[in-house]
């Protein structure tokens, strides 16, 4: 198993300056980072890769930050095209950084949650499917995987549970399209997080760990023993990434409704969380 930290814990926008934190990630014991990238031009990939290497780290994955202007659901062709361009840019960055997978809600802007008529939902489903087929073809040529993340009902109305993601993957039929599961979202939406992990099976290419309050893994109500057993049952041996937040990053705190500290600060959260997940899943 390899262990990473999502960079949103410390900054809403990852830039070259963010590399100043790499020595601390390494000292705590992370194997790598999951970079949440808003735009390709925000970083010099050669510089970031060198700085990661200097600190014994790698970029294991890129986290997509899909917004209103880059949404495969639309509402118009320009937004859909921007969404496809954004994912293609992430694929190129992944190649340059040596990351193997792009994760997140690639299908829709975070926060887009509305009650829509069945006919409109079907139309949006087909629109997203068409867009994902295009970017999957691009990713296939580059050897990069795309992993769809189901989100809770307050952050999306589109793909909330593992079976939703599996349906989309089945209909698209691309070997590079996988599933990204997150203990926080599963704790809200799935009847059983463990059953969802087993259902995903070999399709699961990313596991995010976060507590029910978005704090350090192991400090709340998530059924960790059941999660760990399901992970063991599937033979999953890829990245386990902590994705937790604090009020210190105001933009992310507002988006994720983080109104209070769960730990002293972000570094305390990272250190406590890493110690727990390593003990849970093993070195």
Domains of the chain, first to last? 2-281 (3.20.20.150)
**Average pLDDT of the segment spanning 253-274:** 92
Q: What is the pLDDT of residue 136?
A: 98
Residue written as tokens 């990939």?
Answer: 45
Question: Token pair for residue 9?
Answer: 């814990």
The CA-atom distances, in angstroms, between 147 and each of 94, 179, 248 are: 13, 4, 28
Taking each helix axis from N to C end, the angle separating 193-200 and 162-172, rounded to the nearest 10 degrees, works out to 10
**Average pLDDT of the segment spanning 13-29:** 98
**Average pLDDT of the segment spanning 142-147:** 98
Q: What is the pLDDT of residue 257?
A: 87
Q: How far apart are CA 188 and CA 154, in angstroms?
A: 10
Q: What is the pLDDT of residue 161?
A: 98
Q: What is the pLDDT of residue 55?
A: 98
Closest to 33 (Cα-Cα) out of 69, 7, 70, 9? 7
Q: What is the pLDDT of residue 157?
A: 96
**Average pLDDT of the segment spanning 167-185:** 98
Q: What is the pLDDT of residue 58?
A: 98
pTM: 0.96
**Average pLDDT of the segment spanning 68-86:** 96
Q: What is the pLDDT of residue 248?
A: 84
Q: If you average pLDDT over every residue of the chain, what do you get?
A: 96
**Average pLDDT of the segment spanning 127-134:** 98
Confidence band (pLDDT; 50, 70, 90) for 255? confident
Confidence band (pLDDT; 50, 70, 90) for 127? very high
Question: Token pair for residue 18?
Answer: 């963010």
Q: What is the pLDDT of residue 172?
A: 98
Q: How far apart are CA 145 and CA 101, in angstroms?
A: 5
Confidence band (pLDDT; 50, 70, 90) for 179? very high
Asked if pLDDT for residue 222 goes beyond 80, the answer is yes
């Amino acid at each position: 198993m390899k262990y990473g930290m999502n960079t949103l814990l410390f900054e809403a926008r990852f830039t070259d300056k963010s590399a100043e934190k790499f020595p601390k990630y390494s000292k705590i014991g992370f194997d790598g980072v999951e970079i949440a990238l808003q735009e390709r031009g925000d970083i010099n990939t050669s510089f970031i890769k060198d700085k990661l290497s200097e600190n014994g780290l790698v970029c294991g994955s890129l986290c997509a930050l899909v917004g209103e202007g880059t949404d495969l659901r639309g509402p118009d062709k320009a937004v859909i095209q921007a969404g496809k361009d954004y994912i293609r840019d992430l694929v190129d960055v992944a190649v340059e950084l040596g990351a193997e997978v792009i994760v997140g809600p690639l299908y829709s802007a975070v926060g887009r949650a509305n009650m829509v008529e069945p006919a409109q939902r079907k139309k949006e489903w087909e629109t997203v499917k068409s867009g994902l087929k295009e970017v999957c073809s691009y990713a296939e040529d580059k050897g990069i995987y795309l992993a769809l993340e189901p989100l809770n009902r307050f952050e999306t109305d589109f793909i909330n549970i593992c079976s939703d993601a599996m349906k989309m993957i089945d209909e698209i039929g691309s070997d590079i399209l996988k599933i990204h599961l997150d203990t926080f979202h599963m704790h809200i939406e799935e009847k059983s997080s463990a059953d969802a992990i087993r259902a995903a099976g070999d399709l699961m290419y990313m596991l995010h760990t976060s507590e029910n309050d978005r704090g350090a893994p192991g400090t709340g109500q998530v059924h960790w023993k059941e999660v760990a057993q399901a992970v063991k049952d599937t033979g999953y041996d890829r990245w386990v990434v902590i994705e937790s937040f604090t009020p210190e990053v105001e933009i992310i705190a507002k988006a994720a409704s983080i109104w209070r500290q769960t730990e002293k600060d972000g570094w305390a959260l990272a250190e406590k969380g890493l110690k727990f997940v390593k003990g849970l899943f093993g070195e």
